[in-house]
C-alpha cells in the first residue's frame, strides 16, 4: 500500500470567482446560448457530411476500414453533442458503443454498423425529432447493441 500525501489547496479560479462582480447565471447562460446557436447550421451540415462518410464506409465494408467507423461516429458525437439532437445523438452513441465492443472482441459485424447508419440518416431527415419513428428505430438499435455486448 503506498503512502498518499494530501494537500489543501485553493485554486486561482476559486479565488477569482469569489471576487464581487460578474453577471447573473441567467444572463451568462443566455449570452453563451446565443453565441453557441450561431454555429448550429454549420454543425448540422458537418453532421450530415459525417453520416454520408459513414454510409460510404459501411456500404464498402472494406477489410481494414473498421476503425474508421468508431472515428467517424465519435467525431459526429463531438459536434452533435453541443446541441439538442436527441435521437440522432443516441443513435451515434449506440454506434460508438457497438463499434468499440466489436473492435475489442474481434467479432466485427458490418450489418450492425449499416443498420445504425441507416437509422441515423432517417432521424436526420426527420429533423432529429423524438417521435414514434425515432423511438422504434432506437429500440431496434438497442437490441443490436445488446447483442454486441454478449
Nearer to another protein, 104 or 139 (CB): 104
Identify which of 78, 98, 99, 100 has the alpha carbon closest to the alpha carbon of residue 89. 78
| Residue 68 binding another protein, by CB under 8 A | no
Which of 50, 85, 112, 134: binder of another protein (CB under 8 A)? Answer: 85
Which stretch in 23-31, 50-58, 107-115, 121-129 sits in contact with another protein by CB under 8 A?
23-31
The C-alpha cell at 98 is: 457497438
Which of 52, 59, 78, 135: binder of another protein (CB under 8 A)? Answer: 78
73 and 92 in contact (C-beta within 8 Å)?
yes
| Residue 127 binding another protein, by CB under 8 A | no
Distance CA 14, CA 32 (A): 21
Amino acid at each position: 500500500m503506498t503512502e498518499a500525501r494530501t494537500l489543501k489547496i485553493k485554486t486561482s479560479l476559486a479565488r477569482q470567482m469569489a471576487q464581487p462582480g460578474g453577471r447573473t447565471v441567467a444572463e451568462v447562460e443566455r449570452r453563451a446560448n446565443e453565441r453557441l446557436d450561431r454555429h448550429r447550421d454549420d454543425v448540422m451540415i458537418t453532421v450530415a457530411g459525417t453520416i454520408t462518410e459513414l454510409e460510404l464506409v459501411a456500404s464498402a465494408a472494406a477489410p481494414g476500414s473498421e476503425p474508421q467507423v468508431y472515428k467517424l461516429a465519435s467525431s459526429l458525437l463531438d459536434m452533435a453533442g453541443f446541441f439538442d439532437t436527441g435521437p440522432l445523438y443516441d443513435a451515434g452513441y449506440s454506434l460508438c458503443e457497438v463499434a468499440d465492443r466489436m473492435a475489442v472482441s474481434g467479432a466485427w459485424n458490418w450489418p450492425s454498423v449499416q443498420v445504425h447508419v441507416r437509422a441515423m440518416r432517417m432521424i436526420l431527415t426527420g429533423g432529429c425529432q423524438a417521435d414514434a419513428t425515432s423511438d422504434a428505430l432506437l429500440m431496434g438499435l438497442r437490441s443490436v447493441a445488446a447483442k454486441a455486448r454478449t
